[in-house]
A and B are shown apart, each in its own frame.
Chain A
């Protein structure tokens, strides 16, 4: 299976490289004092061999006779980090606001591969991200999982196109709308204008989509994507910051199941106040992506919704059995670095292994790409972060990044 995948990897880019001599080196042997595989195993004094975009060997260090591989030596290696909620879109042009329910709109068509934010993410050790449309719509469209580097083409970087159906509960989708007052001058004179209306739009969309399977007249552009969600074929990601919005989202899912409309797979994004409803999340098997930890734990309306999340929330939820992934959610500066978020979560009580999982294999599972990324295992994509010290410690730096088996960030001093 992985051979097939690697064959696909090799043939996917439609863009020919500039010339054969510009081809980056694809064989590396990386020695490290600690290799944290994320698969339940830490190799001390070990080596990872990378070949043709994949991990080809992982073992305790020994003399490597491979003359074709070049070697690197670092303190620690972890799998490339995965951010399940980034905001590297084109802003307004990345979401279709002429309608509130737009499940057929693909955010991948709106992304700019030349944006500097991709290399920022890459340099901080994040190799795979989920990009969602901005949450100005109730249902904004299809998010895409892609690598933060590689060929200069969005389609070639996609790990999983149309990976999740994205929408939001709460106030944000209703922000730009206003009730009809006098003569409406544009399409913003519409519902929803409150978070009640937002939930109503969700429920109507699902009921219409479910009915469209028997009655074609009830269908609408994108209703087939909602049907895929009902059948459990397409994962649903709902942004829900506050306690009430988290409850609303989960209750909606449970209503869908109870009414026999389907069995959706769902995770919540920016679920800052998930710590108030852990049992609800466990009972409904809902995973959460947390927004970045704030210094005082408070989010303002500008961040999304006014809400509160202390630094021990990741531990609290993990201990209750909720699957937790950390994210940067578009934050700039230090808190935008996923490696720092993992460190904050550890300060809040997570063990190192739990923090590593929260930025690697947990988001990989959430996004359905764990067969390719999330751990250091033979056959998986060669996405590695090379650290100068223990990962996630504030004094440690990301000194190197391997992406798709190519040394994207070079740890060696420049000549």
Chain B
């Protein structure tokens, strides 16, 4: 806590003047506070001290030394983008070897990159930086904050490739069967990150493109008793029964304006089957605004708004194993808060302020 406020103080010197430091406690009152689990509080108050939420509720007492910011609009937890290449897109691809599970994407984290300030401006406070899907075992993803340079989880997921992108026509492996056989060989004598995945300490991120890839990935995960999530296949939801049996989660998207109805229905199928899911971003190839828009399109196609919002916040945090730290507005959570002009799932709503770890990084604090 002290480290982060010190860091924030140090950064305050180097950054543009509109960023304000707030080491003393403060409170935000908003017309509507979205807690992150589907519940909302009218005229709720959020009390923050030391970068952590101390209290949330309708009748929270604001201490005398705390400043109060009254917001006309909606307050919510910051969104979590579950799959992205922010800040390092062209520098992540290493095609020298198909298997290099020891690579840590956290090493490619450049907090000063504009991808993060863009994500921040869209209301995204945390991003999972993922290895590119073109390797068989491309490395370990990292969960980072979009402001302040804080790494929430340095080793978040082991990335494994099951799509045709992991194959080549002139490099080993060229076939799905050999790719699976190579993964089986690696998992038969596991070391490092793979050993952690096998022992259940490190979840996996299975990269797919088609439903057939998903079936292969599920079979592999079940065989090696792995937990984690599937990413990539737009119609994964059509295999909801199999996914539920495997107990894996799904990262949907990225979805965008003009997404075909079948992909949107597939997201709803996941929710109907009770499968935990989140939304991916794939910045910089997709604009960060698409994260929220994609979820809103799913709502338009029949997904319950509460389920969509969970996928953007608390559900994503739970899939990443940090549900007790981020993704919801509750006592003890890190103070990642976004103030919106209206319901965030309304496309006309805009971001008016963003707090990361209790520091107001967008919007003037009054």
Where the two chains meet, the residues of A that have a C-beta atom closer than 8 Å to any C-beta of B are 15-16, 18, 90, 92-98, 102, 104-114, 133, 141, 153-155, 185-188
B199 interfacial by beta-carbon distance below 8 Å: no
Min C-beta distance of A107 to chain B, whole Å: 7
Contact mask B293-313 → A, CB, 8 Å, 1/0? Answer: 000000000000000000000
Q: Is B171 a contact of A98 with CB atoms below 8 Å?
A: yes
B29 to chain A, nearest CB (A): 48
| Extra contacts besides A97-B174, A98-B173 (8): CB < 8 Å | A16-B241, A90-B164, A90-B176, A97-B170, A104-B181, A108-B177, A133-B175, A141-B177
Main secondary structure, interface of A, reads loop
Are the CB atoms of B171 and A186 closer together than 8 Å?
A: yes
Q: Can you spell out 7 A-B residue pairs with CB atoms less than 8 angstroms apart?
A: A15-B242, A94-B175, A98-B178, A105-B177, A107-B177, A109-B216, A153-B215
Q: B161-191: contact bitstring with A at CB < 8 Å (1 yes, 0 no)?
A: 0001001011111111110110000000000
Interface residues of B in 241-265 (CB under 8 A from A): 241-242, 245
**What's the minimum C-beta distance from A258 to chain B, rounded to whole angstroms?**
34
A105 with B211, Cβ < 8 A, contacts A15-B241, A93-B164, A96-B173 known = no
Select one of A15, A92, A108 contacting B169, CB under 8 A: A92
Report whether A95 and B241 are in contact in the complex, using a CB–CB cutoff of 8 Å: no
* Bound-complex Cα distance A106 to B219 (A): 15
Contact B242 A96 (CB under 8 A): no
CA–CA, A109 and B223, complex, Å = 14
Distance from B178 Cβ to chain A, minimum over Cβ atoms (Å)? 4
Q: Which of A16, A98, A153, A155 contacts B174 (CB 8 A)?
A: A98
Shortest distance in angstroms between A116's beta carbon and chain B's nearest beta carbon? 13
Query: Once the chains bind, are A110 and B175 in contact (CB under 8 Å)?
Result: yes
Q: Is B196 an interface residue (CB 8 A)?
A: no
Are A96's CB and B178's CB within 8 A? yes
Least CB distance from B65 to A in Å reads 59
In the complex, what residues of B have CB within 8 A of residue A92's CB? 167, 169, 174-175
> Which single member of B171, B174, B242 contacts A93 (CB below 8 Å)?
B174
B341 within 8 A of A: no
- Closest residue of chain B to A16 (Cβ to Cβ) is B241
- Separation of A98 and B174 alpha carbons in the complex (Å): 7
Residue of A nearest to B244 (CB): A16
Q: B210 at interface (Cβ–Cβ under 8 A)? A: yes
Query: In the complex, which residue of chain B has the Cβ closest to the Cβ of A185?
Result: B170
Cβ-based interface call for B95 (8 A): no
Q: Are A110 and B176 in contact (CB under 8 A)?
A: yes
B349 interface contact, C-beta 8 A: no
Give the number of residue pairs across the A-B interface with Cβ within 8 Å.
71
Q: Is the CB of B181 within 8 A of A95?
A: no
Chain A residue nearest in CB terms to B213: A112
Give Cα A102–Cα B179 distance, bound, in whole angstroms: 13
Residue B18, interface by CB 8 Å = no
Docked Cα-Cα span, A90 to B174, in Å, equals: 11
- List residues of B (211-243) whose CB comes within 8 Å of A's CBs: 211-212, 215-216, 219, 241-242
Binding site for A on B (CB under 8 A): 164, 167, 169-178, 180-181, 210-212, 215-216, 219, 241-242, 245
Of all chain B residues, which has the CB nearest A104? Answer: B181
Contact A114–B210 (Cβ < 8 Å): yes
CB of A254 to closest CB in B, whole Å: 31
Report the bound CA distance from A110 to B172 in whole Å. Answer: 15
The CA-CA distance from A18 to B240 in the complex, in Å, is 10
| Smallest beta-carbon distance B323→chain A, Å | 29
Q: Which listed residue, B164, B172, B180, touches A98 by the CB 8 Å rule?
A: B172
What chain A residues lie within 8 Å of B245 (beta carbons)? 16
Q: In the complex, A131 Cα to B212 Cα: how many Å?
A: 17
Docked-complex contact A188 and B177, CB < 8 angstroms: no
Is B212 within 8 A of A112, CB to CB? yes
Q: Which residues of A contact B170 (CB under 8 A)?
A: 97, 185-188
Question: Whole-angstrom distance between the alpha carbons of A94 and B173 in the complex?
Answer: 11
A-side contacts of B173, CB under 8 Å: 96, 98
Cβ of A96 and Cβ of B175 under 8 Å apart? yes
**Is the Cβ of B174 less than 8 Å from the Cβ of A112?**
no
Name the B residues within 8 Å of A112 (CB-CB): 210, 212
Complex CA distance for A107 and B175, rounded to whole angstroms = 9
Contacts of A109 in B (CB 8 A): 176-177, 180, 216
A93:B215 contact, CB within 8 angstroms: no
| Residues on A with beta carbons closer than 8 Å to the beta carbon of B176 | 90, 93-94, 109-110
**Which of B170, B173, B177, B212 is packed against the most chain A CB atoms within 10 Å?**
B177
Indicate which residue in A18, A93, A106, A185 contacts B167 across the interface (CB closer than 8 Å): A93
Contact of B177 among A16, A110, A185, A186 (CB under 8 A): A110
- Residues on A with C-beta less than 8 A from B172 are 98, 187
Residues of chain A with a CB closer than 8 A to B212's CB: 111-114
Among residues of B, the one whose C-beta sits closest to the C-beta of A155 is B219
- In whole angstroms, what is the CA distance A185 to B212 when docked? 32
Contacts of A96 on B, CB cut-off 8 Å?
Answer: 173-175, 177-178
Evaluate whether A97 and B175 lie within 8 angstroms (CB atoms) in the complex, with A16-B241, A187-B170 already known: yes
A114 and B213 CA atoms in complex are apart in Å by: 11
Contact A105 B181 (CB under 8 A): yes
CA A304 to CA B175, docked complex, whole Å? 21
CB distance from A177 to the nearest CB of B (A): 12
Query: In this complex, which of A15, A96, A153 has the most chain B Cβ atoms within 10 angstroms of its Cβ?
Result: A96
Nearest B residue to A188 via CB reads B170
Contacts of A114 in B (CB 8 A): 210-212
In the bound complex, how far is the Cα of B149 from the Cα of A165, in angstroms?
55
Task: Chain B residues near A106: list those with CB within 8 A.
Answer: 177
B241-A93 in contact (CB<8A): no
Once bound together, how far apart are the Cα atoms of A185 and B172, in whole Å? Answer: 13
Query: A16 vs B243: C-alpha distance in the bound complex, in angstroms?
Result: 12
Write out the residue numbers on chain A whose beta carbons fall within 8 Å of the beta carbon of B174.
92-93, 95-98
Q: How far is the CA of A106 from the CA of B173 in the complex (A)?
A: 14
In contact, A95 and B211 (Cβ under 8 angstroms)? no
Find A18's partner among B169, B211, B241 (CB 8 Å cutoff). Answer: B241
How far is A95 from B210 in the complex, measured between Cα atoms in Å? Answer: 19
Task: Tell me the complex Cα distance, A114–B215, Å.
Answer: 11
Cα(A141)–Cα(B241), bound, Å: 32
CA distance A95 to B181 in the complex (A): 13
- Residues in A neighbouring B178, C-beta threshold 8 A: 96, 98, 102, 105
Q: Which residues of A contact B171 (CB under 8 A)?
A: 98, 186-187
Query: Chain B residues near A113 (CB, 8 Å)?
Result: 212, 215
